[in-house]
Amino acid sequence: MGPDHPGLEPGEQLLVRTPASFRGATGTSISATFALASAHKRIEAYRAWQMPADLVGFKTAGPEMVLGLTDRRLVIWKTTFWFSRVSEISGEVPFDRLHDVVAVRHGLVTSVAFAFTNGQIVEVEAMRGRRLRHLAAEMHARLT
């Protein structure tokens, strides 16, 4: 596919694309702002989130990501340092590995929980998460 959607297979249709962060990113960033070594605290929080996410197959390349829902799978893109453009796929989750998906709004932050068929749950979040809620609704419709 084109440079805006690297890594998609021939004929694969992108339905929704949205930026996201690991669950807890917003809270960690806010609390770390008032502490020394705020970047270090954020990376520590990301690493704690990343380990179980990787084990279940939700592979990321950093705390910031772009999620893409296609007609075949959930794609997790790595973003570039400059301008946060998608650069390459860091992970993917086929639909048959997911049981359900739920979106919840917490003020300005939207969280989405992906429930895997093995019982594990991975959460991501976004500020002003309209597109993240749209991705969850589209995915939920495909899973039911």
- Residue 21 near residue 29, CB atoms below 8 Å: no
Q: What is the Cα–Cα distance from 132 to 111, expressed in whole angstroms?
A: 8
Lowest-pLDDT range, 23-27, 63-67, 91-95, 111-115?
Answer: 23-27
Q: Is 0.85 surpassed by the pTM of this model? A: yes
Query: Across residues 103-114, what is the average pLDDT?
Result: 94
Give me the chain's average pLDDT, please: 88
Strands 121-127 vs 98-106: parallel, antiparallel or unpaired: unpaired
Q: Within 10 Å of residue 100's Cβ, how many Cβ atoms?
A: 15
What pLDDT shows up at residue 26?
63
What pLDDT shows up at residue 23?
85
Q: Given 1.20.1250.20, 2.30.29.30, 3.30.70.20, 2.60.40.60, which CATH number is that of 14-143?
A: 2.30.29.30
Alpha-helix runs per DSSP H in the chain: 25-33, 38-56, 130-143
**What is the DSSP code string of 29-47?**
HHHHHTSTTHHHHHHHHHH
DSSP 50: H
CA geometry: angle 122, 127, 128, nearest 5 deg: 115
pLDDT, tens digit, for every residue of 25-71?
665 544 445 555 567 788 888 999 999 999 999 999 899 999 999 99
What pLDDT shows up at residue 1?
47
Query: Across residues 74-103, what is the average pLDDT?
Result: 91
Determine if residue 7 is left, alpha or beta; phi over 0 gives left, psi from -120 to 50 gives alpha, anything else beta.
left
Closest residue by Cα to residue 31 from 40, 20, 22: 40
What pLDDT shows up at residue 39?
72
What pLDDT shows up at residue 40?
77
- Domain chopping of the chain, boundaries: 14-143
